[in-house]
Chains A and B, each alone.
Chain A
């Protein structure tokens, strides 16, 4: 646990959160034509989850559910083309006109990427859990510190 009481850190992270979310969403959608993609977006979301956890603003929960959602989504996207008699993971590209945004072209790669994002965020959350930083086991191994200090 680093400096959870520091107002600088807390405020900074509070301010950064919406920005990071926007960047993550941008990366997710831009990935098809520009640098970005599901993995990068997941890492951005994951980073902000980690920071909020470290600063003790909000502890992540439901990592399992998030990953389950992600795996389900990618499997569905992968298997859906079979229903049409196409091969696994065949792309479907749709372009529609959306108000304000104009012509938007999107493919089945997008839900696939969303699934990847969910899995990556879930992975980061689990890592955090594994490192004992979810506010559940913070005073881990106080004895360990003592021995190290003594040594």
Chain B
């Protein structure tokens, strides 16, 4: 009977997996700390924000070193409603541990980098640091999630927090439009994902991700399509990729973190985690490969066409994500292994490249490749980082990207059946283009030859000169050096990388356990292909760096924005029509709807069930109520109407008394009291009589009122004449004393049995009250009292002092 040590309590869970929860709590505390400290100085906020991810990364590395990750996964569950499988469930297995290293490790480095990026005087430090750590926390939750609910919650949290980060510069309309576009596309995909996960959970009979079994049949196809839609929107796959280039409006640390290593990987990870369930669903593989190969090619083409260095990387990310999605949806042991290896390598080199571009942006003031020349001389360390990371991306030895790409080509060569050729063409084509855009990026940015565009200018001389650069900032250099250096170290110590990605891939597909990354494969088919790819890509890249064309128009982005604007316009139009502001019309509409809804019961009424009254007092009271109601409809003065309504209320409470319901009586009387006072207060501002209205409108209202009254009465009579079983009053009375510890059944029902309903209702009440307050205050800031009747039509009072509150 120790409540704190119950098996399902949070505290027990904390003891059983203390480090796990400590890290979670540290993140949450870190968010608060970063928000507070960052307010004063962005550097302090970022420094505090870096702590929790750094601890998480070190802890995850420790687990990897001790081989705990694969052998002893941490499982932690926090149940909410056990009957519905509603729980927060986390599992820290080998894959999740690897992702933790990436998410938190790169996260900590991005925090450090941001200190250099923003400079000491930047504004909004608290908001930025807190949002960045909140994103990092959501991403950790996402990679740890082991139930469909948990996954979905953190999935959406990453969408929301990334919206805040992309829209950090919230005074720029274009930035906000880009942030909104990203949110709408990823959020819409999130809805598809939820539907897909629901179908999947239902089909395989569990909500626990690690227990998901194979599914088949039509529902499985639906689930596959919906989940892939979610993954494709998040991972910026064609045609949903349009949000990613726009999101480059974010500060570069954000892009480096979200759009290389973490958020866009969420879709990839999802495909990997649920992929095994869809092993027998052809649609899964076909659609996944369609998304993947199309994005691989189109993304690489986009990277070759753009002239903004950051956009080049963004389009390259689309392409790389396509490759990952392709490999993971193929789903063989070899492909899964290659996919996970590439995911690891990609996180390292792409983050490093983004950091390079951010540093160039800060130190030269531009990201346009036409305006950048000869940075190899003026920024030698940055140049080294860019070469290491870029060649890793291109798949050149001796770098980690090379072995990962070897594995990918091997995996695709190893497939059989229809998927072999599309995958082969996609992977090899994408790889050639990748080499090309990497080389173009390196040559145009760092090379001393002026970019071709510059030749067309009138004043050649200043353009040919090397771009002037500001002094180096240590905080920006160190993370980039570490990340790109890891690409080289990973190749040298290939065994260490194998011990990370191997168990992670095995987690997804048991057949992956036999594969490992090989530093030097020897002259094999895959190696030959790889070298041909590098050679042809290099030729293409050199040609492209000399070739000139204008930056392409963002076609899809416009479409997405137009769609969104159209939706908003339509919503405004409908709102304008429906919310016209006339109280009588609202009431008449509601009455008519009620009458319509209740009218079917008119035919369900059976006369022999009806009794006129139990005691004659009921008849007297009912006559009083009816009489007062009819009077209320015809009385001309406002005060008279209020009084008749009061009479109706009192009569009804009298009926409650007869039925022996003291709680209802009490509440009814109190409500009547308040309403009467409210009327008195309100009538002070209005005329004594109702304004005249046309006869037709008056008759319509009368008709609606009469029909509504009769129909609702008939519905109640019909419902009470056909009870579905005995009323559970005896059970409830007993339960009230036993469970609720009270003799007043009504109150126990309200606070205990249906306590959640009450909770919801009082929150609704509070929300309504806040709405009233807001309206009361808003009226003053509106167009003011030009029309005398407006107070009557919306029932809101003016509030001269409200402006200041």
Contacts and interface: CB of A to CB of B under 8 A. Distances in A.
B616 interface: no
B752 interface: yes
Given A67-B769, A91-B741, A85 B680 contact: no
B604 interface: no
Nearest to A116: B762
Contacts of B4: 83-84
Interface string A108-127: 01001101100110111111
Interface stretch (B17-25, B415-423, B685-693): B685-693
A51 interface: yes
Contacts of B742: 32-33, 107, 109
A136 B777 CA distance: 11
A151 B693 CA distance: 13
Interface in A95-151: 105, 107, 109, 112-113, 115-116, 119-120, 122-133, 136-137, 140-141, 143-145, 147-149, 151
Contacts of A137: 797-800
A50 B674 CA distance: 8
B747 interface: yes
Contacts of B728: none
A132 B752 CA distance: 37
B624 interface: no
Contacts of A34: 743-744
Contacts of B750: 37, 39
Contact of B9 (A70, A84, A148): A84
B557 to A, nearest CB: 41
Given A1-B684, A71-B763, A144-B685, A130 B792 contact: no
Chain B: number of interface residues, binned into ranges: 35 or more
B219 interface: no
A137 B777 CA distance: 11
B429 interface: no
Contacts, number: 218
Contacts of A54: 677, 680-681
Contact of A116 (B680, B758, B802): B758
Given A78-B755, A128-B681, A136-B802, A141 B765 contact: no
Interface stretch (B38-46, B51-59, B662-670): B662-670
B496 interface: no
A127 B670 contact: no
A119 B666 CA distance: 18
A63 interface: yes
A53 to B, nearest CB: 8
A147 B790 CA distance: 13
Given A33-B744, A40-B666, A78-B755, A144 B792 contact: yes
Contacts of B7: 85
A50 B785 contact: no
B759 interface: yes
B796 A130 contact: yes
Contact of A107 (B8, B740, B772, B789): B740
B120 interface: no
Contacts of B8: 85
A129 B681 contact: no
Contact of B799 (A107, A136, A143): A136
Nearest to A126: B769
A133 B752 CA distance: 36
A35 interface: yes
Given A130-B796, A132-B799, A88 B80 contact: yes
Contacts of B744: 31-37
A89 B685 contact: no
Interface in B651-705: 662-663, 665-667, 670-671, 673-674, 677-678, 680-682, 684-689, 691
A64 B770 contact: yes
Nearest to B684: A1
Contacts of B81: 87
B791 interface: yes
23 contacts: A27-B666, A37-B746, A40-B667, A43-B673, A47-B677, A50-B674, A63-B773, A70-B766, A82-B10, A84-B9, A85-B7, A89-B752, A126-B769, A129-B797, A129-B799, A132-B685, A132-B776, A132-B799, A133-B797, A141-B788, A144-B687, A144-B789, A147-B788
Closest 3 interchain pairs by CB?
A: A132-B797, A148-B687, A85-B9
